[in-house]
Chain A
Amino acid sequence: MAKNILIVGGGLAGTIVANGLCRQLAPQLRSGEVVITMLGTTETHMYQPGLLYVPFGRIREHELFRDQRKVLDRRVIFHVDPAKHIEVAKNQVSTEGGRTLKYDYLVLATGSRIMPQTIPGMAEGAHWFYDLEGARKLRDALSKFEGGKIIVNANAPHKCPVAPLEVTFMLYDYFKGKGLLDKCEITYTYPIGRLHALEPVALWAKPEFDRLGIKYETFFNTEKVDPEAKTITSAEGVTMPYDLLVTIPPHQGAQVIVDSELGKGGWVPTNTKTLHRDGSTNVFVVGDTTNIPISKAGSTAHFEADVLIDNLASLLTENRMARDYDGKVFCFIETGTSTGTYVWFNYTTPPNPGPPSQMVHWFKLAYNRLYWLSAKGLL
């Protein structure tokens, strides 16, 4: 009887797991002892970090997408058929297309999504770049913008924690390049009492903002946006006018997780080291889907996926877990349109970003292409 591994979600985390398992379980796949199936929501795989460059015209849209079937190892059975109900008590998942799939091991990789609609007026009054449609609209708005008050507004929780800083620095460079800086006032808002969740990054960003004349408002959690009056108001009682509002909307996990009662807000309670769903021995969670209190980022998904591949392969071939996830996260930080830095940390090692350089920026640009090797499980 074949062992069935079912992966729900075809984003970066699910894709790396699927491809990595194919490499580690090649003999078992060949003999039919193991079957790997993935349920995705779309035929295409999107390089999400590339969206940051779309508003500035620094990446072509076609570079963001690949055919998911070509990214996946051909041995993965891939259905574009979103999961509708996940029943962990019965070891089965039903789909919108009417399938019912049984599994021996389940990997939940359903990801996260932006929820601007949860804040009154945000969907109507703000721009964002966390999906292609939003990034296109922001690109159009920027091309017509002739100056005024720009607010970059980060909301909790959000994925890619450095993106709010990156887009702020890139907006500064963009306006400088267009000769509009003297007509622009950029204000950055952040939910907690400093400029970034990572204290060393916040300490680095503050003098940079001061040097560039970028204003900031901390302890700012958006309560409402008034698209008519063009104002944004925080739960802390601050109201600011804007001409262009670039928001990082609050996120939630996938609706199927909520509907299946697997986690409030779509975040699945997960063991921080083994990545088991709490209460399950054959259900694992990876990427943004977990409720682990670390960054929701592609690198987190990548490092978790590497551990999960080893553990699943080990369970199937040696009946034991291989190793723990150590909380590793690595993030590039674009500090403008020509320099960048990076930061890494894990559960026990605090972050310590280095000085920005052109070299790191170029490496980030190279990674925009190397990503596809990560998704294939080669990097």
Chain B
Amino acid sequence: MQTIDARGAFCPGPLMELIAALKLSVIGDQIEILSSDKGSAADVPEWVAKVGHKMVGVTDKGDHWSIIVEKAK
């Protein structure tokens, strides 16, 4: 599984990094994004639902979130 460490990344930010990574992935690939931006814990699931990918999980790690998404289309 590919992990993108976007902690402390102000621009382009965790969701944009995830979108870019998914473009280079194939269906079934899972990507973990680490984010210290609490907004990402809400933004990423919202976007994943809109597009139709699969949310595997969001885990609060204390000082950051681990968000795992599976490419579904």
Contacts and interface: CB of A to CB of B under 8 A. Distances in A.
A75 B11 CA distance: 36
A157 B10 contact: no
Contact of A197 (B4, B16, B24, B51): B16
Given A250-B23, A293-B4, A197 B47 contact: no
Contacts of A367: none
Nearest to B42: A193
Contacts, number: 76
Contact of B19 (A156, A293, A294, A348): A156
Interface string A338-359: 0000000101101100000000
Contacts of B12: 156-157, 161, 197, 293-295
Interface of A: 118, 156-157, 161, 191-193, 197-199, 219, 221, 235-237, 250, 264-265, 272, 293-295, 327, 329, 345, 347-348, 350-351
Given A265-B20, A293-B4, 9 more contacts: A118-B23, A156-B12, A157-B12, A191-B16, A192-B13, A193-B46, A221-B51, A237-B50, A265-B23
20 contacts: A156-B23, A157-B12, A161-B12, A191-B15, A191-B16, A191-B19, A192-B15, A192-B16, A192-B47, A193-B47, A197-B10, A219-B46, A250-B23, A264-B24, A265-B20, A272-B5, A293-B6, A294-B9, A294-B10, A345-B10
Contacts of A327: 8
Contacts of A199: 39
Nearest to B25: A264
Contacts of A350: 10
Given A236-B50, A236-B51, A348-B8, A197 B13 contact: yes
Contacts of B17: 157, 293
Interface in B24-73: 24, 39, 43, 46-47, 50-51, 73
A192 B39 CA distance: 12
B41 to A, nearest CB: 13
Interface of B: 4-6, 8-17, 19-20, 23-24, 39, 43, 46-47, 50-51, 73
A139 to B, nearest CB: 28
Contact of A235 (B5, B10, B51): B51
Contacts of B8: 327, 347-348
A140 B13 CA distance: 35
Contacts of A345: 10-11
Given A221-B19, A221-B51, A264-B24, A192 B9 contact: no
Nearest to B24: A265
Contacts of B47: 192-193, 219, 236
Contacts of B14: 293
B43 A193 contact: yes
Per CB-CB distance, the 8 closest pairs between chain A and chain B, nearest first, are A157-B20, A293-B9, A197-B12, A156-B19, A265-B24, A197-B11, A293-B6, A236-B50
A293 B15 CA distance: 11
Nearest to B46: A193
A264 B51 CA distance: 23
A358 to B, nearest CB: 25
Contact of B11 (A191, A235, A265, A351): A351
